[in-house]
Structure 1
Amino acid sequence: MNHQFTLKAMLLLILLLMLVGCQLTPQETDPNRTQVQLIRTIDGDTLTVTYNGKQEKVRLLLIDTPEMSDSIYGKEPYAQEAKSYTAKLIQNAERLELEFDDGPERDKYSRLLAYVYVDGIMLQEALLKQGLARVAYIYPPNVRHVDMFKEIEDKSQDMALGIWSVEDYVQKDGFHPEVMIEP
């Protein structure tokens, strides 16, 4: 009888632990993330948020999207698609979070450098899967997700999605809109 009571008590304890675990919020399950409020989307890889009560620009770590206002070409090809995709994901989000890596939290322009999560989905990963970003600006020790990003980038490139659909548009040093201009 004592053995049956112990078994029932253990099962009840396991059930209670499972129920408590199901009720944890994402913030409680991942203490490395900080919830923020969106102010606006600047382009595909930059946004403005309220962080620690202050308005801050955030630059997405380890990716690059085409520029909305390049000094030579103006709006680069796929820039509007990247911005629209980012804005669409973020504007209806219930939860927007930042995750910092092991290195500096700011770049030379004082922007926060972070992985951005939209309702638990990493924005960098989503942009890479759509072919709207390339892996770039790899500065250790901010490299936590670089291997995963490169795998996703390779798949998008193999499928010729978005920025990868135009031969030589994406090169090691960035985007080259001039390859789309007919002589």
Structure 2
Amino acid sequence: MKKIFALIIGILIIGSTFFLVKERIVSTTKLYIDNESNSTYNDRFDKGYDGKYNKAAVEDANKKHSKVILNKEFKVYGKENVDGATECKYIRDIDGDTIVVDLNGKKTTVRFFGVDTPEDVNPKIHCIEPYSVQAKDYVESKLQSGEIIKILFNDSKGKYGRSVGTIYYEENGKWYDLNEEEVANGLARIAYLDQNNTNIDTKELYAAEESAKNQKLNIWSIDGYATSRGYNLAVFN
């Protein structure tokens, strides 16, 4: 009888341990997805951007619009210094508007402030959004793993608690605003900003977007795709 009782207790302990381990794995996986994915995907779909679209048409658009045309009319000027910015060591990019840096010895995910690029990593997406790969490639062309960059952090936090900031990289002794460059080249749209903000950098950002729109560069070359609410896949049907 004692042996049977001990066996039952043992089975219960093993079962409880398995359940806890399983829950831990699920929680960890969810945390990874939340931290690594771009919050704007969920924001867009909460606002109705889950309309019908043709996956084959999206794939065709990716092939048709694979080439990036850079903005030759709008110049992003480098700065001698970026007041208030924090130096970090760049580790890698997650997508076109999210990177991972070493901040005081801690691996930190940073979302680009005020801009939004198309998606390619969120597990809920069934296809790659046009110009998402090109936006990611652009970041990789400007940032090298291990190099020191500067980030002007914003006080706000992203949807998943990530840090938010303006990213600056160094070239020939000057610091260049990567957020603004993506917008100027039509690889990102402005998002989550008050248009009446009098901040000079914000004004430059809107000027950069206007220039990209007027030239129909990249994301703006597809009618109805890039909007103030996000990227509308419903145009591909």
Once the two structures are superposed, residues 49-74 of structure 1 have per-residue CA deviations (whole angstroms, 9 ceiling, x without a partner) of 00121000000000000011352443
1:107 aligns with 2:142: no
1:131 touches 1:153 (CA, 8 Å); kept in 2?
yes
Q: Please give the alpha-carbon distance, in whole angstroms, between the structure 1 residues aligned to 2:82 and 2:121.
A: 36
2:115 touches 2:188 (CA, 8 Å); kept in 1?
yes
1:170 aligns with 2:226: yes
- Unaligned runs of at least 5 residues, structure 1: 1-25
Partner of residue 21, structure 1: none
Shift of 1:38: 1.3
1:136 aligns with 2:188: no
Report the secondary structure of 2:143's partner residue. Answer: helix
Partner of residue 122, structure 1: 177
The one of 52, 55, 77 aligned to 2:107: 55
1:93 touches 1:118 (CA, 8 Å); kept in 2?
no
Q: Check 1:127–1:93 CA distance in 2 against 1; reply closer, same or farther (3 A cut).
A: farther
- Unaligned runs of at least 5 residues, structure 2: 1-79
Report the secondary structure of 2:168's partner residue. Answer: strand
1:96 aligns with 2:146: no
Amino acid across the alignment from 1:46: T
Q: Percent identity between the aligned chains?
A: 32
Q: Check 1:143–1:93 CA distance in 2 against 1; reply closer, same or farther (3 A cut).
A: farther
1:32 aligns with 2:57: no
Q: Which stretch shows the higher mean deviation, 63-72 or 79-88?
A: 63-72
1:159 aligns with 2:215: yes
Once the two structures are superposed, residues 14-48 of structure 1 have per-residue CA deviations (whole angstroms, 9 ceiling, x without a partner) of xxxxxxxxxxxx6xx44411111111110000000
| TM-score with structure 1 setting the length | 0.75
Q: Please give the alpha-carbon distance, in whole angstroms, between the structure 2 residues aligned to 1:143 and 1:65.
A: 24
Shift of 1:110: 1.8
Q: Check 1:37–1:131 CA distance in 2 against 1; reply closer, same or farther (3 A cut).
A: same
Amino acid across the alignment from 1:110: G
Amino acid across the alignment from 1:163: I
Q: Check 1:92–1:42 CA distance in 2 against 1; reply closer, same or farther (3 A cut).
A: closer
Runs of 4+ in 1 over 4 A off after TM superposition: none
1:82 aligns with 2:82: no
Q: Check 1:72–1:31 CA distance in 2 against 1; reply closer, same or farther (3 A cut).
A: closer
Q: Check 1:157–1:31 CA distance in 2 against 1; reply closer, same or farther (3 A cut).
A: closer
Q: Please give the alpha-carbon distance, in whole angstroms, between the structure 1 residues aligned to 2:146 and 2:106.
A: 20
| TM-score with structure 2 setting the length | 0.58
The count of corresponding residues between Structure 1 and Structure 2 is 151
Amino acid across the alignment from 1:56: T
Report the secondary structure of 2:111's partner residue. Answer: strand
Partner of residue 61, structure 2: none
Amino acid across the alignment from 2:181: A
Q: Please give the alpha-carbon distance, in whole angstroms, between the structure 2 residues aligned to 1:94 and 1:108.
A: 27
